[in-house]
Each structure stands twice: as C-alpha cells, then as structure tokens.
Amino acid sequence: MEVDTIINFLKTTLKFKEIYCQIQYQRIINQAAEKMNLTVTAEEIQIEADSQRTQRSLEKAADTYAWLDEQMINSDDWEAGIYNSILRQKLAEALFSQEVEKYFAQNKVDFEQVLLYQIIVPYEKLAWEIFYQIEEEEMSFYQAAHIYDIDEQRRYHCGHEGKLYRFNLKPDFSANIFAAQPKKVITPLKTDQGYHILMVEEFIEAELTPILYEEIMDRMFQEWLAIELNYLLHNS
C-alpha cells in the first residue's frame, strides 16, 4: 500500500493529527532517552514478549506467528513496539519518579475517592418523584435505579457507578457528593445528560497505591510530552 494512500485516508478520517503527534512523541522520547543514556536490553524485551504471549494465550510459536500475521506485522515490528513501550516507561520513571510523592501530597484532596451510586432520568418531575419515594422509603435507591435509569448497564447494576476520584467529578457535583452523608440520597442535580439522583456508599481516603503512583507518573509524563511537542512545533 502506498504511503500517500495511507496519509490521505488518515486525513479524511481526521486521524492524521493524532498519528502525527504520536510519531513526534516517540521522537521526543528517543532523544531524551539518548541524552539520559537509557537503554532497553534484549532480556527486557523477551520478558515483556513472554508476558504478552501469556495474556493472549499464545502457547506455541505457531500461535504467535499466526497472531502476528493477523496484525499484519512481523516479529521485528512487534519487538520494536515493545522496545518503545519499555523505553517510554523508563524515561517516565527517570524524569518523574522522584516527583510523584510530592505531587500526591500537594494534591491529596483530589485523590479522595467515593463509592457512588447514581440514577439519571430525563425529566425533572420524575427525578423529584423518585427522590421523595426513596426518602419516604416507598422504594429503595437500588430498586429505583433498576427501573428508571436511562443507562442500561447502570440499570443492571442497580445504579452502581463505582469508585471515583474527586478530580473526576465536576466541581458542583464534587461539592454536593463530598458534603453528603453515606447512604443518604442527594437531591436531584441537572446536567446536559439529564437529572441525577446520587447516593454515596462510602468515602475512601486518599492513598498513594502502586496503581495511583503509575497514574500520576503517566499524567505528569503526558503533560511533559505535550509541552515538548508544543515547543518543537513552534521552534522548528
């Protein structure tokens, strides 16, 4: 397939900028890693390749080759992708691993979590009727969610929204939710999605877990890449 055909297709599907930025990000990573003398060993690539084979249940070499054919790539392409992924992780750690705890401490309140249940309905009158029925114990929050919520998956899960960080919530939602009493329904709030009836199951104190550590470091790294790319575009 001709390069021009691929480029024109990416442009017509509005994906050209996304791919262009990804290519530039990789160049930025490669240059920064070289300056910091970061390397990726063949053993590290092999370990990650074995892990990916296990995840995809590629038990035999023939299974791996068949999978590579499906992806329209060869083993060198696959290993190059693994190399880039490992190099990216190493650079992120080299740049920001010492900054994560400081960032967490300075923004700890943003990482408080809430286990939230939610019902969204399209009409204000209906929202208030449901709210009062729950308040007066004519039906439970979970029953109401199972019957009325506009989202099919949330209906199946009786309104269960899951654990959310404070920073994931809009300011007006955050203020109402984190001021609420657990198990008490919150008066309806309006957004462009509809009317929200919320209930807090529990609050979870901010804790720097290994998963959150990686999320913060990745966020800092993404911000750094965006700044570097912006500088590159305006000074080239």
Percentage of the residues of the chain whose pLDDT score is greater than 70: 99
Q: Which fold would CATH assign to domain 113-204?
A: Chitinase A; domain 3 (3.10.50)
Region 114-122 average pLDDT: 96
What is the pLDDT, as a whole number, of residue 1? 63
Query: Residues 216, 167: contact at Cβ < 8 Å?
Result: no
Q: What share of the chain is helix, strand, coil (3-state, %, to 5)?
A: 65, 15, 25
Domain segments of the chain: what residues? 3-104+211-234, 113-204
What is the pLDDT, as a whole number, of residue 178? 93
pLDDT score of 236 more than 70: no
What is the pLDDT, as a whole number, of residue 2? 79
Tell me whether residue 169 is exposed, middle or buried, using C-beta atoms within 10 angstroms of its C-beta: 0 to 12, 13 to 18, 19 or more. middle
What pLDDT, in 10s, does the model give residues 40-68? 999 999 999 999 999 999 999 999 999 99
What pLDDT, in 10s, does the model give residues 29-43? 999 999 999 999 999
What is the pLDDT, as a whole number, of residue 46? 96
Give the rounded distance of the alpha carbon of 171 from its chain centre.
20
What pLDDT, in 10s, does the model give residues 79-100? 999 999 999 999 999 999 999 9
What is the pLDDT, as a whole number, of residue 188? 95
What is the pLDDT, as a whole number, of residue 10? 87
Of residues 143, 124, 126, the one with CA closest to residue 134: 143
Percentage of the residues of the chain whose pLDDT score is greater than 90: 88
Q: Order of strands, edge to edge, in the sheet holding 185-191? A: 160-165, 113-121, 194-204, 185-191
Considering the chain, what is the average pLDDT of its residues? 94
| Residue 120 bridge partners (DSSP) | 196
User: How many H helices and E strands in the chain?
Assistant: 11, 4
Beta strand ranges found along the chain (DSSP E): 113-121, 160-165, 185-191, 194-204
pLDDT band of 173, cuts 50, 70, 90? confident
91 to 84, 86, 101, 199, 236: CA distances (angstroms):
10, 9, 17, 41, 23
CA–CA separation, 216 and 124 (whole Å):
38
pLDDT score of 9 more than 80: yes
